[in-house]
Amino acid sequence: MLAFLLIIALAASPEMVTIGPGPAVAKNGGPVDVDVGRFLLDVDLVSRTDFAAFVGDHPLWRRDRARALFVDERYLADWASARAPGEDVDPAAPVTLVSWFAARAYCSAQGKRLPTSAEWELAAAASTTKKDARADPSFVAAILDWYGRPPAPLRANHRTQANLWGVRDLHGVVWEWVEDFNFALVKDGRSGDGGALFCGAGASAADPADYAGFMRLAFRSSLEARFALPVLGFRCAKDVLP
């Protein structure tokens, strides 16, 4: 049984690469940059085909059966049916319209987990030539240019060249879920939270020079775990075995 599951996991598992050590990055938008260490990250975003295989194996994550506790009503709403993405969309394109719970369940089923925000930021700080390109004007401009553009229809991955770590599409395709998205505290963040008490300082202190990073922090802080959004996908990570 275990061997069988292992074979399934390997078959469904996209290639992973080792990330790190690399530049210190802001942890959860916190005031102190941290060293992340080494970890494994999927080269590619999870595709609709990948997710359809998961849904086939775990029918409770089909859109017609998933619990309202874990997904909102937009969950996989662009699929032709509860089982498959259908003909009208590119099946190799990244899956979107998935909640944090669904993304987490997918990664767990592969023996993986979602990356933390710090891990994701470390991987995403790299350009094709530098581990830390956050001060590289053309690198930053390309990211901000994408943030400013309206979403385009999603097509297959691999549209961007792999970065120095070997990871593709960290920028320019979709936003990505991270395990600790709800660690992001932006002062006076969510509407309706105006009077919420914060135990401790509360405010975020993302580096204002890293404007793209701040945009991502603000985006994460606007999310709720049940949200399924057309521009939000994910990839999985894994610990490096000691």
Using CB under 8 A as the binding rule, whether residue 109 contacts other proteins is answered as yes
Minimum CB separation from other proteins for residue 89, in Å? 27
Q: Tell me whether residue 153 or residue 192 sits nearer to other proteins (CB atom).
A: 192
Q: Which of 92, 105, 162, 215 binds other proteins (CB under 8 A)?
A: 105
Sort 219 into a burial class: Cβ within 10 Å, 0-12 / 13-18 / 19+.
middle
Q: How many CB atoms lie within 10 A of CB 234?
A: 28
CA 99 to chain centre: 11
Using CB under 8 A as the binding rule, whether residue 234 contacts other proteins is answered as no
Q: Which residues lie below 8 Å from residue 229, measured CB to CB, with a gap of 6+?
A: 74, 96, 97, 175
Minimum CB separation from other proteins for residue 60, in Å? 6
Alpha-carbon distance of 236 to 224, in angstroms, equals 19
Minimum CB separation from other proteins for residue 229, in Å? 15
Alpha-carbon distance of 115 to 120, in angstroms, equals 6
Q: Tell me whether residue 192 or residue 242 sits nearer to other proteins (CB atom).
A: 192
Alpha-carbon distance of 123 to 94, in angstroms, equals 18
Using CB under 8 A as the binding rule, whether residue 60 contacts other proteins is answered as yes
Stretch that binds other proteins, among 103-111, 129-137, 154-162, 167-175 (CB under 8 A): 103-111
Using CB under 8 A as the binding rule, whether residue 77 contacts other proteins is answered as no
Tokens of 115: 């990356």
**Residues 8-37 as x/- pattern, contact with other proteins by CB under 8 A:** --------------------xxxx------
Alpha-carbon distance of 33 to 121, in angstroms, equals 11
Q: How many CB atoms lie within 10 A of CB 14?
A: 15
Using CB under 8 A as the binding rule, whether residue 224 contacts other proteins is answered as yes
Sign of CA dihedral 135, 117, 113, 75: negative
- Map the footprint of other proteins across residues 148-207, applying CB under 8 A: 179-180, 182-185, 189-190, 192-202
* Residue numbers at the binding site for other proteins (CB under 8 A): 28-31, 58, 60, 67-70, 100-101, 104-105, 108-109, 113, 179-180, 182-185, 189-190, 192-202, 221, 224-225
